[in-house]
Structure 1
Amino acid sequence: MAEDVNYASVVFKNKNRSRPEGKNEEETVYDEVKVNNNSPEQSPDTNAKNKEETVYDEVKVKKNSTEQSPDTNDKKADGRRRHYRLLACCLATFCVILLLGIIAICVYKKMNLEKQNQKLETQNQELEMEKRNLTNQIKDMEAKGNELNISRAQWSIDAYCPRKDGGGRHCKSCQPGWNLFQSSCYVVLDYKTSTDRKTWEEAREHCKIRSSDLVVVDNAEEKTYVSGKSWKSSGNKGYWIGLKADGGKWKWVDGSDLADSSWIENPTDGHCAISVWKEGWKSVNCTNRNNWICEQKALSV
C-alpha cells in the first residue's frame, strides 16, 4: 500500500459586523474551519469505491465579544450632551418669555391705574366746581326769595289795607275787584273776545300769578254761589273751574277728589269742567278757550 497523504486546508473567517451605535448587547462571531481529507488510495474493504472522497468538517467557534470601541462611547456621550444643551436652551427661552409677559402685564395695569386715577381727579374737580356753582345759585335764590317775600308782603298790605288820604290804612278781607264769600275771595275773568280767553292750563297759570288758583268748590252753597257768578255774556260758553279728569276720576287742583259725582257727568281723561250759568257744570276738552274764575283765601281782619 502506498503511503497515505492527508491534506488539511484551514480557512478562518472573522465575521465582525459593524453594529449600530448605542447597542451594547453581546457580539457573536463564527469562525469556520474546513478540513479537506483526500484519500487517493482505496482500502481493501472499499474495492467498490473508485472515486476520490472529500470530507469537509466544519468547525464553528462561537466568540463572545462584550467590548465596544472608544469611538462609539464618545459619540453617545456627545449625543447626550447635545440633548441636555437643547433642553437647557428651551427652558431658558421659556423663562425669558414668561418674565417678559409678567413685566408687560404689570406695566399695562400700572398705566390703567394711572389713567383711572387721572379720570377720577378730573371728575372730582368738576364736582367741586358744580358744588360751588350750586352753592352760589342757592345763595342768589335765597336773596331773591327774601326780596320777593318782602315785595309780596308789601303788596299784600297795600292790596288788603290800602292807605287813606289821612295816611291811615283800612284793611279788607279781599282785594279790590274780588268778591267775598264765606272764607274765600273770588274774581271772575270775563273777556268778550275769544283771543283773550285761555285754555284750562293757561287760566290756572294766570290765577297763580295773582296768588290764587282756579276755584275749588267744597260744598253745595259754594257751588250755588259759583254758578250764580257764571253769568252768560256774548259768545261765552262757560267759566273754567279747578276740576279736571285724571285717571278716570274728577280731581280738584288741590289734589282732592270730587265729593258729589252728581254735579257733573262721568269723567273723560283730557277733559276739564266749566261752570255754565243756570246749567251747572259741563265736561269739555281742556284745550278749549274760555273765561275763568280764580279763588284765594280771605284775609282775617
Structure 2
Amino acid sequence: MAEDEVNYASVVFKPNQQQRSEVKREETVYDEVKVQNKATEQTPVTNASAEFLPDKKSNRRCRHYQQLACCLGMLCIILALGIIAVSVYHVTLIYEIDETELNQLKENQTTLNAVNHNLTKLNNQLSSDNEDLKRNQTKLTLQMSNLTQVFNVLDKEVTNLTKENQKLKGKNEELKTQNKDLEAEKKNLTEQTQQMTTPWDELNVSRAQWSIDAYCPRENNNRKCNACQKGWELNSSCYATNNADQGEWKTWEEARKDCRGKISDLAVAINEEEMKIIREKSWQYNENKGYWIGLRVEDGKWKWLDGRNLTNNSWIDQSSPSDGHCAISLQNQGFKSVSCDEKNQWICKKKALSV
C-alpha cells in the first residue's frame, strides 16, 4: 500500500468588511479634527465659524470610538491567532495520529504481504496435491474397475464351483453307495474265491496234466515231448490252420474267440519270415476267400493284436484303412482288407514249447 499524502489547509482570518469601513471612517474624522485644531490655533475664530467646529465632547467621543475600535481589532487578532493555534495543534495532532496509523498500516501491510505469500505457497501446494489426488483417483478408479471385473469373474467361478461341488457331493454319495455295493460284491467274490480255491487247484493240475498229454503224448508207455501239440505245425512258433467246412466259417471276432479258447490268438507277423509262413499256410481253393489273421483297423490305422502298427503297407493290397475292416491272408495274394463281419476260415498262433 502506497503512503497517503496529507494536505493541510492554511487558515487566514480577515476582519469584517463593515468593521474595516467604520474604523477607516473614524480615522478620517479624526484626521479632519486634527486639521481643524491646527487651523484654530493659527487663525482667530469668528462667531460665525465657531458654530461649525466640534466641541470637546465630540472629540472625546471620537477618541473613545477609536480606542474601542483598536480594542476590537486587537481582540479579533488575538481570536484569530487563537483559532490559528488551535487549528495548527489540531492538524499536528491529526498528522501524528495519521503517521502512527500509517506506520501501523505499513506493519499490517508487511504482515499481510507475508501472510499472502504463505497463503500463495500453500495454495500452490494444495493445487499440486489436488492434481496428485486427481491422478491417484483416476488410477484408483481404473483399479477399482479392474477389481470389479475380476470380482465378477471370480464370483461366477465361485458360483460354478459351488454348483460343481454340489454335483460332486451328489456323485460322492452315489460313489459311496456304489462303494458299499462293491464292498458287498467283493465280500461275496472273496467267499466264492475261497470256495473255488480247491476246485481251481484241481483244475490247474488237470490243465498241467492236459499240457503234458498234449505236448508229450504217451506211446508204448513212453512219453515223447514235442514243441507243438498235436495238430499244430512248428515254424519258429506253433500254427494251426482251421480248415472248417463253409457252414462253420466264422467272423473275425468269432475266429479270435476260437483261437483264445485254444490258449492262442489269431496269427500275427513280426517280420518278413513270419509273414511268408502265414501266406504259405493260407491255402487257396475255389470256395475259400481267405484266412483271418490278427490284423485289423483301429482308430484309422492298421494294428496287430499285440499292439504294433503295420509299418509295411506293401503287405496289404488296401493301404488306406477303413474302420470296421480286418485283414485276411490268401496264398500268392498277400493280405486283403475285408469287412470284419464276413465269415472266413482262420489261422491261430502260439509260442512253441522249449524241449
Cα distance change on mapping 1:263 and 1:138 into 2, 3 Å = same
**TM-score of the pair, normalised by structure 1:** 0.55
The CA distance in 2 between the partners of 1:258 and 1:240, in whole Å, is 16
Q: In the comparison of the two structures, how many residue pairs are matched?
A: 177
Q: What's the CA shift for 1:240?
A: 0.2
1:293 alignment partner in structure 2:
347
Q: What's the CA shift for 1:150?
A: 1.7
Is 1:154 the counterpart of 2:209? The answer is yes
- SS where residue 223 of structure 2 aligns? coil
Residue identity matched to 1:227: R
Q: What's the CA shift for 1:125?
A: 9.4
Residue identity matched to 1:191: A
The CA distance in 1 between the partners of 2:178 and 2:277, in whole Å, is 61
2:229 alignment partner in structure 1:
175
Q: C-alpha offsets along residues 253-275 of structure 1, whole Å, 9 cap, x if unaligned? A: 12222231221122111000000
- SS where residue 237 of structure 1 aligns? coil
Q: C-alpha offsets along residues 148-206 of structure 1, whole Å, 9 cap, x if unaligned? A: 322221111000000111x2210000111111002x1001001232x200000000000
Corresponding residue to 1:185 among 238, 244, 254: 238
Q: Identity across aligned pairs (percent)?
A: 55
The CA distance in 2 between the partners of 1:130 and 1:279, in whole Å, is 52
Corresponding residue to 1:230 among 259, 279, 282: 282
Once the two structures are superposed, the pairs formed by residues 1-301 of structure 1 within 5 Å of their partners are 130-165=185-220, 167-182=221-236, 184-193=237-246, 195-264=247-316, 265-301=319-355
- SS where residue 211 of structure 1 aligns? coil
- SS where residue 241 of structure 1 aligns? strand
The CA distance in 1 between the partners of 2:266 and 2:210, in whole Å, is 21
The CA distance in 2 between the partners of 1:145 and 1:261, in whole Å, is 45
Tell me if structure 2 keeps the 8 A contact 1:192–1:235: no
The CA distance in 2 between the partners of 1:154 and 1:207, in whole Å, is 21
Tell me if structure 2 keeps the 8 A contact 1:177–1:187: yes
**TM-score of the pair, normalised by structure 2:** 0.47
The CA distance in 1 between the partners of 2:275 and 2:182, in whole Å, is 54
The CA distance in 1 between the partners of 2:307 and 2:257, in whole Å, is 16
- Structure with bigger helix share is 2
Tell me if structure 2 keeps the 8 A contact 1:192–1:233: no
Deviation beyond 6 Å, 4+ runs, structure 1: 122-128
